[in-house]
Structure 1
Amino acid sequence: MRNLREIQTQPIIGQAWTGRHVVLLHCTYNNQFINLYKSFHAPIEPPRHNCAETLSQLLSIGYHIHAITAISANEIQYFLVL
């Protein structure tokens, strides 16, 4: 009999999850995707090259924008929470 702790799956869209999740989305001011950082079990879809499209996907999953910060002269960070 397999131990249930041995079976770990990556959360996917449509799968139930619990707790709070955080995503940091880094983009240029010209709407280009740079990078995405997320909490370990945060559900996401693959990011797009277009930052607005990536942001749209995260909002449609249920994330809410918590903060937007300029982190350099050409880079912006979106802090999203689910």
Structure 2
Amino acid sequence: MGNIREIQTQPIIGQAWTGRHVILLHCTIDNQFLHLYKSFHAPIEPPRQNCAETLSQLLSIGYQIKAITPLSPYEIQYFLVL
């Protein structure tokens, strides 16, 4: 009897990920960049200290703002999707 091999699905290197890309951008209310969280394959430019400039870069790539949420009296979160 032959060997039974288990077939495992592995990601293909260089294969484009299809679907939605998500970014959470945290900023202060006085326009200072705090942090950026993104899905693994989301295209992105390096964030700037100025939050408006970071948003401008993301919008120029094609992201759309889906929600803006206050996290505290001093912080804002932007939810962007591509």
Q: CA RMSD of the aligned region, Å?
A: 1.8
> How far apart, CA to CA, are the structure 2 residues paired with 1:21 and 1:78?
14
Structure with higher Rg: it is 2
> How far apart, CA to CA, are the structure 1 residues paired with 2:60 and 2:49?
17
Letter in 2 for 1:36: L
In the comparison of the two structures, how many residue pairs are matched?
Answer: 72
Scaled by the length of structure 2, the TM-score of the pair is: 0.81
Percent sequence identity over aligned pairs: 78
Runs of 5+ consecutive residues of structure 2 not aligned to the other structure: 1-10
Runs of 4+ residues deviating >2 angstroms: none
The match for 1:43 is: 43
Runs of 5+ consecutive residues of structure 1 not aligned to the other structure: 10-15
The match for 2:56 is: 56
